[in-house]
Amino acid sequence: MKYLISHYGAGIAVGLIQEEGAQEEINLAHNIFNSTVHESIFHGTILFDSVKQFRKFLAFKEFFNSRQPNTQNEFSLWRNAFRKAKEVMQNNCRQHNFMFQITAANNSKHNIGGYQDETDYEC
């Protein structure tokens, strides 16, 4: 398993489990989709708009890794990249809502989110 996927707001958060290649994936996601990254969770957590966008990210990653000048036509490279992205989604990803657990732990630790009346004023 290489990726942990969690729902997070309107999009998803993808936790990078393996340290090897994590920085390259963070840079690629930022350069292609302008994705935000939380570096304090796992070896990085990349925020995507949807699972479809994450699948496109995996396809771009595979396309750039397999691209060789003048070897194949670009259509077959893209087809193989999307096929490989589908395999990665099936074999190397796991669904786990870790962001809800982290958010709940932070809210209870700092008492954030509840009503807090700091001062009582009389008019």
- What are the residue boundaries of the structural domains of the chain, listed by start? 3-100
Q: How many CB atoms lie within 10 A of CB 3?
A: 20
Residue 84: the pLDDT is 95
**Cα–Cα distance measured from residue 23 to residue 33, given in angstroms and rounded to the nearest whole number:** 15
User: Could you tell me the mean pLDDT of each successive run of 10 residues in the chain, 123 residues long?
Assistant: 87 92 94 91 91 95 83 83 94 86 63 50 46
**Cα–Cα distance measured from residue 7 to residue 47, given in angstroms and rounded to the nearest whole number:** 10
H/E stretch holding 30 reads: helix 22-33
Answer positive or negative: Cα dihedral of 1, 28, 82, 65: negative
